[in-house]
């Protein structure tokens, strides 16, 4: 059963923010997946917008790199570390 359009857009937005964050951290999918305790395939699905990320994995991302759940799930960059904010927003605004 396909996701409703709004839900599908949300999943894609979350995936795009997660991918932009990983690139800003200068990590491969494999490296980030290992750091948050998931398979590379799971991380790839999240980044592609196939599924929403596991909240427990996103909490590990926050603990390790300071990436807030408000950013990943809601798009609010205000709580991100400054070094990440400039890298992420610089990349997402040019895409």
DSSP 73: I
- Give CA–CA dist 77/9, Å, rounded: 19
Distance CA 44, CA 3 (A): 19
Q: Which tens digit of pLDDT belongs to each residue from 77-90?
A: 999 999 999 998 88
- pLDDT of amino acid 5: 55
**Residue 70 neighbours by CB distance under 10 Å:** 14
Structure token digits, residue 42: 């799971």
Question: CA torsion sign, 16 to 73 to 32 to 64?
Answer: positive
Which residues have a Cβ under 8 Å from the Cβ of 19 and sit 6 or more positions away? 47
Q: Does 49 have pLDDT greater than 60?
A: yes
* Higher pLDDT among residues 6 and 9, named by residue: 9
Confidence of residue 57 (pLDDT cuts 50, 70, 90): very high
**CATH architecture, domain 5-89:** Orthogonal Bundle (1.10)
60 contact partners, CB below 8 Å, separation of at least 6: 35, 36, 37
pTM score: 0.86
**pLDDT averaged over every residue in the chain:** 90
Domains of the chain, by residue range, sit at 5-89
């Amino acid at each position: 059963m396909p996701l409703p359009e709004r839900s599908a857009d949300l999943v894609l937005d979350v995936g795009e923010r997660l991918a932009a964050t990983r690139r800003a951290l200068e990590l491969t999918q494999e490296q980030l997946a290992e750091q948050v305790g998931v398979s590379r395939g799971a991380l790839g699905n999240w980044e592609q917008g196939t599924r929403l990320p596991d909240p427990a994995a996103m909490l590990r991302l926050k603990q390790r790199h300071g990436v807030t759940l408000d950013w990943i799930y809601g798009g609010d960059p205000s709580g991100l570390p400054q070094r990440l904010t400039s890298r992420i927003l610089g990349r997402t605004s040019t895409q």
